[in-house]
Amino acid sequence: MNTNLDQFLSQYQPVSHGAARWGGGIELEVTGYFCSDGPPPDLVSSVRAIVLNENCVLVMNNSNGTHIIPGGRLEEGETHEEALKRELLEEAGAEIKIINHVGFVHLRHTTPKPNNYQFLYPDFLWAVYSASFERWRPDAKIEDDYEISSRFLHLRKVRCLQLEDYELAFLEATTSD
């Protein structure tokens, strides 16, 4: 781990800890943290958000399952807000308004770096925000083979889904009944 990341992480207490397995045999240690300030920009690979619409949460289904923190990679020169708005339009056809920064997810590879791997290694961060739903724009959704569907579910039903620990932690931090 690099010194800047060590120093940054030492300021916060983990709110979740788990493991993930991605395609290609990639295994990661996944730890969630709450914070109101953003993580070091050079370690952020993508931005994500819990998207709220009254008492409902945006739920995404993709080729790997169900998740509630959609988002994606930053493109050259994009701010976090620009990237998040673009990603939600592309993945769900949803226009959003950013509410605030909630925290971040620290991901650490626990398997060797794959050949020709172009992404941050061994550590990277996802900045996590809360956002409110503005309107549907189905014409803006990009059809691909990753995100299959998106819908809003009532908070009670979302809490019953099989979600990652960090998703549940951020859900609780951004909602109240």
Q: In the prediction, which pLDDT does 70 show?
A: 95
Residue numbers in the chain where pLDDT is lower than 50: none
Phi/psi of residue 59, each to 5°? Answer: -115, 130
Q: In the prediction, which pLDDT does 145 show?
A: 61
Q: In the prediction, which pLDDT does 24 show?
A: 83
Q: In the prediction, which pLDDT does 47 show?
A: 97
- CA 74 – CA 68 distance, rounded (Å): 19
102 contacts 174 by C-beta, under 8 angstroms: yes
- CA 6 – CA 26 distance, rounded (Å): 23
Give the residue extent of every domain in the chain: 16-174
- CA 150 – CA 84 distance, rounded (Å): 16
Which CATH architecture fits 16-174? Alpha-Beta Complex (3.90)
Q: In the prediction, which pLDDT does 176 show?
A: 67
Please give, one letter per residue, the 3-state secondary structure of 154-165: EHHHHCCCCCCH
For the residues of 136-154, what is the DSSP string, one character each? E-GGGPPP-SSEEEEEEEE
DSSP label at residue 43? G
**0.95 cut: is pTM over it?**
no
Q: In the prediction, which pLDDT does 64 show?
A: 81
Strands 147-154 and 123-136, sheet pairing: unpaired
